[in-house]
Structure 1
Amino acid sequence: MDDIKIGLVGLGTVGSSVLKMITENQDKVQNITGRRLNVKTIVVRNIAKHQDQVPENVKLTTELADIVNDPEIKIVVEVMGGLHPAKEVITQLLNAKKHVVTANKDLIASAGEELAALARANHCDLMYEASVAGGIPILRTIVTSFAADHITEVKGIVNGTTNYILTQMQRRNWTYDQALMKAQELGFAESDPTNDVEGIDAAYKMVILSQFSYGTHIKLANMKVEGISAIQQRDVLQADAFGYTIKLLGISRRINGGVFAEVGPVLVPKDHPLATINNENNAVMVTGEAVGETLFYGPGAGGLPTANSVLSDIVSVTKNIVLGTTGNSFNNYQSDIGRVDPNDIVYAYYLSLQMLDAPGQMLKLTQIMTQIGASFSRIVQTKNDDQTARVVIITHKMSKAQLADFKQQLAAVDTISLLGSYKVL
């Protein structure tokens, strides 16, 4: 029985977990695929640092050429992360007729179409299940289980760092800075957490989810992306008093023949399934015309959960090698979908404002809302220590165009400032 030789590029948290799972689960994989998996070569920056991590029969090297030029190695796992040199590495591997499995969401969201075309041209597989939501097998589920359904919306919590921070802000009454510091201590947040806390990581994942769900590539530049670093503890407590919890959500929806996608803080009703997803966990809710709402929940990061998704890709590639069906795209769905008119994107909004504590200020606010054709659902006003008041509003449903008009008109009023505006689910 033929072995399938595997190369690894990177041996960090995910890479070492992939090595561990392949070593420990060989018998089950062999039972499923008829082939035995063996890691032959691993590319690392520092051989001495990793010498004790690998079995004696595995070669450690600093040279990618040791994998590229080895005809025995059929599948290569890229877990080095980042855009460069990861893109150049995967390009070189595909041109060498190697099948590639990656967990690199940044790269797939930015250059996935280009790399998929290169894989097809070389009759190779390019798989990336682990690029979205860690251990949750969401991409392959959309490709297979939703193949005949018409997906109308995908939304969810797809970043564990921000979800942990917001959970602590609500449950422990911590400030953002306190919760971030704890997340860094526990290893949930990087020393530079910008990509996570500013919503960029979640946006990359929503680009990929939208591609799989609607067959269209949404550019990051065309998405509004907002993180959680500006959320005030007072807003977390006020949202709780209103019956909501604040979550960083990625949302993409079909609207009138187009697709709208955004990442930002959202007030989620406490009885909604996404409100129950806490700490570093992720959840993706897929809505189809036939099946309705479905929820996929699990660990969104971590070595073994992510490695499990990587291994599922390796098994899929192995099956394709056995059947002689390699070279097909992970996602073949393509569709021409247009942009969405901001007048058609409608939500209720939570608005947090600071205004001069003097007569006539609420009248100014009401006049602006009347002019844009919007209205209030709930209003709470509290006095600050200085000569200002804090006013929190939940509006009735209004369009993004109306919200933009509201912000523009409010900017001309020097006694009122907008502290935050968040969608209400």
Structure 2
Amino acid sequence: MSENLLDAAQGRTASVVDLAQQLVRVPSRGGIDDYGPVLDILETWLTRYRLPHRRLHSPDGDLVALVVEIEGGRPGPWWTLDACLDTAPFGDESAWSFPPTSGDIEQDWLLGRGSADSKLAAATFVHIAADVHARAHELSGGLAVLLDVDEHTGHFGGALAYLADPDIPRPEGVMIGYPGLDEVVVGGRGLWRAHVRVHGDSGHSGSSRPTVGAMSRAARLIRTLDDTNLPAPADGDPFPLPPKLTVTAGHGGEGFSLVPDLCTLNIDIRLTPAFGADDARTLVHDAVTALDRDHPTRHPTETDIIAIWPPFQLGPGQEPGAALLRAAKEAGLDPRPKTAGPSNIGNLLAGHGIAATAGFGVPYVGLHGIDERAHLTGLPKVYAVYHQTVLDLLRPV
């Protein structure tokens, strides 16, 4: 990596931090706050730097994202930097050591909700877009910056609107600005999620007539699912994680006197290349069939599949992961490629055939928890790494 890029990153740091502070000080909790004010801040900044940008909306007309598009002077593939501007809720504000919308800096930590996930990344990426815009005529393809405000809701409306827009070139790959300096996330387990509606006999809890309520039948199903052995990774399997099944919620019953006739379970199964969506569906189907056979009731158990995301993992040398790891090494950093247990937007993109990385950024504490903060000492190198990666990907062949 050239010292010019590192020097340029040092020169950009104060501006990046100032913009990130402005963003953190505007609450933008997913599904709670109005996203207009936080996007107004970025639109003002983008207009000042004359960067082409526009808002994206869901099919229902909801504001879900802001996209910046920088077209190179020569044909070639497009690449995308992605960061969310909506945040997790504050939780118990009395437990925080500082206001959740602080935006202050203490001992090189940027304080407040969204500082780590992912307003500092958003501020970094738009500055990189400005750098690329200044020399776009030299480059091939194009760079988009997607700033999502429908990520923490779980709807991923910004990414979906971006992919559905016929006027936006389909990216070859996406780099998502989740924080963490020690790893470049190049893969993740997928997911299979379903609501399972377990029926039972309704009645009075004090009745002399025996009843098998939905809660009792649901408990049997949970026990069966918990006792299921899922396959471990085989020796030499490049995907390092096993599948995982969790019953994450159960809803049924009311008060004390009524035996409930319905209990709805949320089933979350994390997928791997060796245990995919068909395996998850078969597993739950077999468990439900056994429940209805061995403990019958008037209504069969019903399964509604809510979401399916495939697992993903970039191969060695596959872009954009290879370029990001290479640039990090040239900057004197040594992050390791990681396949993550939780799913992320990378899984959504993988379902559309788009390669993604899902994490490399500054160190952080308290992501989604109390006292969220991001450490700024490593920001210049993180900036330079992403800048170098983008230039490498856009370099004319």
TM class by smaller structure: under 0.3
Which structure has greater helix proportion? 1
- Relative to the length of structure 1, the TM-score reads 0.26
Which structure is higher in RCO with an 8 Å CA cutoff and minimum separation 6?
2
Scaled by the length of structure 2, the TM-score of the pair is 0.27
